[in-house]
Amino acid sequence: MTAPLSTLDTPAALLDERKVAANIARMQARMNALGVAFRPHVKTAKCVEVARLQRAAGAQGITVSTLKEAQAFFGAGFDDILYAVSIIGSRLPQVQALREQGCGLKITVDSLEAAQAVAAYGQAHGHSFDVLIEVDTDGHRAGVLPHSAALLEIGQALHTGGAQLAGVMTHAGASYNLYTESELVAFAEQERSGCVTAAQRLREAGLPCAIVSVGSTPTALSAAHLQGVTEVRAGVYVFQDLVMAGVGVCTPEDIALSVLGTVIGHQPDKGWVLIDAGWMALSRDRGTQAQPVDRKYGLVCAEDGTALPEWIVSAANQEHGIVSRVDGAADASLRERFPLGSRLRVLPNHACATGAQFDSYHLVKEDGSVQVWPRFGGW
Amino acid sequence: MTAPLSTLDTPAALLDERKVAANIARMQARMNALGVAFRPHVKTAKCVEVARLQRAAGAQGITVSTLKEAQAFFGAGFDDILYAVSIIGSRLPQVQALREQGCGLKITVDSLEAAQAVAAYGQAHGHSFDVLIEVDTDGHRAGVLPHSAALLEIGQALHTGGAQLAGVMTHAGASYNLYTESELVAFAEQERSGCVTAAQRLREAGLPCAIVSVGSTPTALSAAHLQGVTEVRAGVYVFQDLVMAGVGVCTPEDIALSVLGTVIGHQPDKGWVLIDAGWMALSRDRGTQAQPVDRKYGLVCAEDGTALPEWIVSAANQEHGIVSRVDGAADASLRERFPLGSRLRVLPNHACATGAQFDSYHLVKEDGSVQVWPRFGGW
């Protein structure tokens, strides 16, 4: 299905085909050079076509954030899947059903209680789950500490309880709050060494630990080496966004996702151009607010993607975006420069959040044609 | 379709039937007392069942923020619809098609250029559109000033160009930034008087202006009188939210929408309970951040809706919410108080944004049963 860009109804989520390909190639080349497998997190795009590009470039398996993603991607032929959110008992029947259909679905736990529940459920239902233990290497969310007694207790509970202790995984998500290369390199090493330490302790205790899985886009793009790691996970790198540009692991020019909006009005005295991409299209994500340079609701580009670095979406209502100069100045040529009905693109703060506002992407191909790629949301 | 609350997969968007009914009754009673028609904005719920309750209580017509809403609600039997986002030429064919199917769809303009485009399109296609002029009464977004020359120029262009000049409308959205009753009363009067002034100027110029439409939830619930106004619009009042509670036009107990999440882990040393409602479920809306009391990602309640005023969602990742004490203190009884697999509800900052993360609501009825009400999104 193709249609020219100029006939698209707005707001629309555009993907720049060349930039998606470049982001995928860059990450995969790094992983190859570092000698690790790469398991992209498909929660960013939630799009089978994007995951196929990642696989074609060399990715091995995928990571998901919901069992709905696991179900959808397994249905599309992806059978090596890590569900990277701590499992709860009520989800085990669905996990078992997927595994019995042939899906190599792995789950994670970060407490003795959860490990015992998984083992007990498996015993009661004649099934052995593949389980990774989540390790906390940066204090930002879930996981057990690499040196904790809990790590070994969980490992023992799984192993002796009949589950497959498949390995350890960590996500150093606090890397999103860093801004210098030296900090990022050090943080990637902290993530690596913490996860490898956890794996070594399990092995020294006589427990299996084949997988050592780490990752976030900032650390994956910053690690000096990944000795002892077997696989890396990252999600947002595939589109990149203004938060990642603020962290310093990409430039605004690398951002493959943008929101196409139409000019619906002007307030010349205020220097405002109103577009039909409000927060419902851009999302409420203000991830750059805490960074050194706040991009408000996003950077503005011309319809063809050319950056307009003086212009920003400075505020947003549900279906109204307010485009203004970064310096807030009025502009006498506003109506001429951005006529009613003309179009602009907005680069998003956070690709995962902005993509989620849409049920499809419009892939802009190098020849200018546009193809619809469905995406899904929900649970 | 009914199911007990305890079997619902999470995250889920719950509606408290009693509170929805109370919010609708409260607003309609105010409108009746003020002697104006009420045209609810259905962009908050995007749910036919909710709009039917509003209509049954006395609402006359609806307001929409997208033509997709217009199409969906017309299909469900609503035929008096105001599309409250400035029209652009590319949308006129769809507007004309809906009107020719019998939908009393009214559109808005706020520039001479748009007015001329609507008139010219109508003449070229043998159709007379019903058009309201958007008036700017608080400087927050779109519209022409009540005393501007542009107001009369637009009115003339529509009237002499063959369109039906149906009236004027304004939305004092900056009322969301107020916190005291006296400010709110004064702001409602500013909204009223500005819009009535615009109507009077049009009439004095010999132009028709039957509709004088104002509204936002804060001003609708604060106006001392609405002399000269014919109808009021408001959206978020139907569910209410923490931003509205911060403004002071409801209490947290009035909030009808909540997100049900399941406990998936703990970090007792930090005082954290992890739930499976992250920002994908709660939305990235941090509307209370700019208010005197910041509610972070939302206030926490027990599964049955009982407020737990010491607990808040202090941070959110995509599918992880971090619940902690408002004071940030650790809690030794965390695992016992909030066991793995137990459920919590979260009251949202902004009902419009949080509802939009879901494709259905689960209506919790007074007898405890649960009914699914579909909602839609997109454009």
Domain boundaries, given as residue ranges, for chain B: 18-236, 252-374
How far does A285 lie from chain B, in Å, by closest CA?
A: 5
What residues contact A318, with CB distance under 8 A and at least 6 apart? Answer: A278, A279, A280, B43, B65, B352
Identify the H or E element spanning A222: none
**CATH homologous superfamily, domain A17-239:** Alanine racemase (3.20.20.10)
**Which amino acid does the sequence have at B304?**
D
Nearest to B284 among A264, A283, A359 (CB): A283
Bridge partners, residue B38, by sequence: B232
- Contact (CB, 8 A) for B27 and B50: no
d(CA A31, CA A234): 11
- Contact (CB, 8 A) for A257 and A192: no
**B84: closest CA among B99, B69, B65, B70?**
B65
Nearest to A88 among B283, B341, B357 (CB): B341
B-chain residue closest to A270, CA distance? B139
φ/ψ of residue A156, rounded to 5: -65, -45
CA distances from A101 to A63, A94, A98, B13, B50 (A): 18, 11, 5, 30, 40
As a residue count, chain B comes to 379
- Contact (CB, 8 A) for A376 and A359: yes
- Quick one: how many helices (H) and strands (E) in chain A? 12, 18
pLDDT in tens, B116-148: 999 999 999 999 999 999 999 999 999 999 999
CA distances from B14 to A75, B47, B280 (A): 30, 13, 15
A319 touches chain B (CB under 8 A): yes
Write down the pTM of the prediction. 0.97
A111 touches chain B (CB under 8 A): yes
How far does A55 lie from chain B, in Å, by closest CA?
A: 23
Task: Please tell me chain A's helix, strand, coil percentages from 3-state DSSP, rounded to the nearest 5.
Answer: 35, 25, 40
Give me the total of CB pairs closer than 8 Å, taking one residue from chain A and one from chain B.
132
B379 touches chain A (CB under 8 A): yes
Indicate the SS3 state at residue A361.
strand
Burial of B269 from C-beta contacts in 10 A (0-12 / 13-18 / 19+): exposed
B-chain residue closest to A144, CA distance? B267
Q: What is the mean pLDDT of residues B169-183?
A: 95
Identify the H or E element spanning B206: none
d(CA A97, CA A141): 29
Check residue B338 and give its pLDDT: 97
- Contact (CB, 8 A) for A295 and A252: no
Check residue B1 and give its pLDDT: 46
Chain B residues whose CB is inside 8 A of the A378 CB are 358-359
B177 touches chain A (CB under 8 A): no
d(CA A39, CA A37): 7
**232-251 of A, contacting B, C-beta below 8 A:** none
Q: State the sign of the Cα–Cα–Cα–Cα dihedral B115, B120, B121, B122.
A: positive
Identify the H or E element spanning A85: none
Check residue A204 and give its pLDDT: 98
pLDDT in tens, A67-111: 999 999 999 999 999 999 999 999 999 999 999 999 999 999 999
- Pairing state between β B62-64 and B80-83: parallel
**206-225 of A, contacting B, C-beta below 8 A:** none
Indicate the SS3 state at residue A203.
helix
Check residue B6 and give its pLDDT: 81
List of long-range contacts for A121-128, beta carbons under 8 Å, 24+ apart: A121/A89, A121/A92, A122/A161, A122/A162, A122/A163, A123/A161, A123/A162, A125/A92, A125/A96, A127/A96, A127/A99, A127/A100, A128/A162, A128/A163, A128/A164
B267 touches chain A (CB under 8 A): yes
- Contact (CB, 8 A) for A190 and A173: no
In tens digits, what is the pLDDT along chain A, a chain of 379 residues?
Answer: 456 788 899 999 999 999 999 999 999 999 999 999 999 999 999 999 999 999 999 999 999 999 999 999 999 999 999 999 999 999 999 999 999 999 999 999 999 999 999 999 999 999 999 999 999 999 999 999 999 999 999 999 999 999 999 999 999 999 999 999 999 999 999 999 999 999 999 999 999 999 999 999 999 999 999 999 999 999 999 999 999 999 999 999 999 999 999 999 999 999 999 999 999 999 999 999 999 999 999 999 999 999 999 999 999 999 999 999 999 998 889 999 999 999 999 999 999 999 999 999 999 999 889 999 999 999 9
B265 and A114 in contact by Cβ < 8 A? yes
Local structure of residue B224 (DSSP, 8 states): S
Name the token pair of B365.
């009825």
- Pairing state between β A321-325 and B231-232: unpaired
Nearest to B320 among A136, A141, A340 (CB): A141
- Above 80 in pLDDT, residue B3? no
d(CA B84, CA B269): 50
d(CA A86, CA A114): 8
B43 and A85 in contact by Cβ < 8 A? no
How far does A358 lie from chain B, in Å, by closest CA?
A: 6
Say how many C-beta atoms besides its own lie within 10 A of residue A69's C-beta: 24
d(CA B63, CA A374): 29
Chain B residues whose CB is inside 8 A of the A340 CB are 88-89, 111, 113-114, 117
**A323: closest CA among A314, A310, A334?**
A314
B-chain residue closest to A145, CA distance? B267
Architecture of domain B252-374: Beta Barrel (2.40)
A10 touches chain B (CB under 8 A): yes
**B73: closest CA among B100, B96, B104, B97?**
B104
d(CA B118, CA B303): 51
pLDDT, mean over chain B: 97
The CATH fold assigned to B18-236 is TIM Barrel (3.20.20)
Chain B residues whose CB is inside 8 A of the A117 CB are 340
Identify the H or E element spanning B371: strand B369-374
A284 and B283 in contact by Cβ < 8 A? yes
A89 touches chain B (CB under 8 A): yes
Name the token pair of B215.
């509204």
- Identical fold at B18-236 and B252-374? no
- Above 80 in pLDDT, residue B2? no
User: Tokens 């427990």 identify what position?
Assistant: A207
φ/ψ of residue A196, rounded to 5: -65, -40
Burial call B314-340: b when 16+ CB within 10 Å, e when fewer: bbbbbbbbbbbbbeeeebeebbeebeb
pLDDT in tens, B226-259: 999 999 999 999 999 999 999 999 999 999 999 9
d(CA B89, CA B71): 18
Check residue A331 and give its pLDDT: 86
